[in-house]
Amino acid sequence: MTQSDMIIDTVAGQVEEALQALASSSKGSTAPSTAYAGQLWLDDTTANAWVLNFFDGADWISLGTLDDSANSFLLKHEVGGLEFDASGVVDGDFVVGTGTGTMGLQSGANARAKMGLGSMASQAADNVAITGGAVSGITDLSMADGGTGASSFTDGAFLVGSGSSALTALPVLADGHIYVSDGVGDPVDMNAFSTSTGFLRHEHGGLEINAGGVVDGDFVVGTGTGAMGLESGATVRTTMGVGSTDTPAFAGVNLGDDNLSNYKEGTWTPTLIGLAVNGTHTYSVQVGRYTRIGNRCFIDAAIQLTAWDGSATGQVGLSGLPFTVLNSTNYLATMAVAFGGINLNTGYGVLGAMATTNTTRIDFVECGDNVAAGPILVAAMSNSSMVRLSGSYEI
């Protein structure tokens, strides 16, 4: 067995080499192949952004980033920690959240903006004292800075300008009063409303009206001396003397020797019938209109058949007049008629129509040269019969 000499210099060199080897194994682009709990490793893969890692006995944990060119270190955050670059901090900066899990520096002005306090340059706390919900410890502002008189301002009063150097508080008004300008001096007190929850008053010929309950269709109507009110359309008609229903009724318009007592217009449904057996016919056109003026009814009718019911019997008539014909012996009102698809007998060329007394019906007849008029019977009708009729009759 050979025994080596114990040389101090040799031992020191070997220890230094071992330390250098250990240090080199803790810096590089890959983690040390053999690591022990508590060991540090500096990952220098990215220039100027070396990552410092810590071995917990099972895994490497990143602690932060080292910038070797700037000699700065940025601590990394994990599980709720904060990552914060404080390299540019200056006097008066605030730490403010700048994103998810990151913090940054902002000046006082920017921090106030984030807090919704505006961006004024400075605010000395000893200039303002808040006691019992009121602001105290400040002096009145000059007129140029916003006016004076705040300390003597009465609750519910109004401020008005009093020249170029002051404001004046007008007294609190009585219930229902308002201030209005007279165009010259200070506003004047006017009793404009009955109460603060009432209605507008009238003065010097104006109108007093309570419009609080106005609804669609209301009218403004006089309700007394110097006062107005609201009335519905039906009530207004009664006030005007034209009835209270949806169809106004007139007592009569005096025209001297004659009175106009009725006017009405509308529609009616002209219907072809057999006077013995009506029958049920089919139409493509079946319209009628009328206008009543006094005791006279003016009518128009248009009929076009698509099918005539062969069960009908007797003379052909037109029923459905809007008003009953005057009940008077030998009264017959004739109509102007255009027709087609109706077979007149030999010797007849004209279709006549007469309103029959005390009925709501017109009866059809055929007329010719030097022959007696005769009734139009149902045999003359066809599936294409057409009638256009205009005229008037007395009611």
353-366 pLDDT, tens digit per residue, is: 999 999 999 999 99
Predicted local confidence at residue 311, as pLDDT: 97
Q: What is the pTM of this model?
A: 0.40
Which residue positions in the chain have pLDDT lower than 50? 1-6, 143-151, 204
User: What is the C-alpha to C-alpha distance for residues 160 and 23, in angstroms, rounded to an integer?
Assistant: 84
101-158 pLDDT, tens digit per residue, is: 567 777 777 777 777 665 555 555 555 555 555 556 656 555 444 444 444 556 777 7
Predicted local confidence at residue 66, as pLDDT: 84
Predicted local confidence at residue 273, as pLDDT: 98
Per domain, the residue ranges of the chain are 157-198, 204-239, 263-394
Predicted local confidence at residue 201, as pLDDT: 66
Predicted local confidence at residue 63, as pLDDT: 84
Predicted local confidence at residue 271, as pLDDT: 98
What are the φ/ψ torsions at residue 266 (nearest 5 degrees)?
180, -160
User: What is the C-alpha to C-alpha distance for residues 74 and 67, in angstroms, rounded to an integer?
Assistant: 8
CA-wise closest residue to 258 among 303, 217, 294, 301 = 294
